[in-house]
Amino acid sequence: MLYALIETYLGPIGRAMLHFYIENSFAINTVVVAYGLVIVMSWTNLVSIRKRLVGAIAAQIVQNPALNAQSKVKRILKEVDIPWQAAVADVRFPLVAQQMALWPKRKTVEAVQALLPAEDLVKQALEVLAQSETTTNAA
C-alpha cells in the first residue's frame, strides 16, 4: 500500500529511477561506501601530515635559542625548515583532502603545501608551545 502511494507521488521519471535503484542497489551502495571510505582516509591522511609538520616546527622552535613561543610567524618561517617531503613520505595512503573537499588530490608535496599553508602550520605550532608552557607553569 505504501509502496503504491510512493510510486504515484514520484511520477513516471521518479518511478523509473526508483526501479533502477532497486535493481542496482548493491552496486550503487558499494560505490557510495567506497567513495566515503576514500574521502575519510584522505581527510585523516592530511590530518596526520599536519600533526607531523606542526610537531616538527614546534621542535625546531624549541631547539633554536633565538626563537620562542612569542616569536613572529614571518621570523619563524625564515629560521625553520619545514620537512614537507618527510611528512608526505611518512603516510601510506596516496590521497589527501581537506575536511569539506569532495574530490581528493594525489599525495604530493605541492598538493600538501597548497592545502596546508606554512603560516597556518607555524601558528598552530605556536599554539601548541603556548599550551605546553601554560601546562608546565601550572604544574
In tens, the pLDDT along 30-45 reads 999 999 999 999 999 9
pLDDT for the residue 2: 83
What are the Cα distances from residue 117, in Å, to 11, 26, 53? 50, 41, 11
Residue 48 has pLDDT above 90, yes or no: yes
In tens, the pLDDT along 57-94 reads 999 999 988 887 788 889 989 999 999 999 999 999 99
pLDDT for the residue 137: 66
pLDDT for the residue 4: 83
Domain boundaries, the chain: 41-138
Residue 132 has pLDDT above 80, yes or no: no
Taking Cα atoms as reference points, which of 24, 59, 109, 46 lies closest to residue 32? 24
For the chain, the average pLDDT equals 91
pLDDT for the residue 40: 96
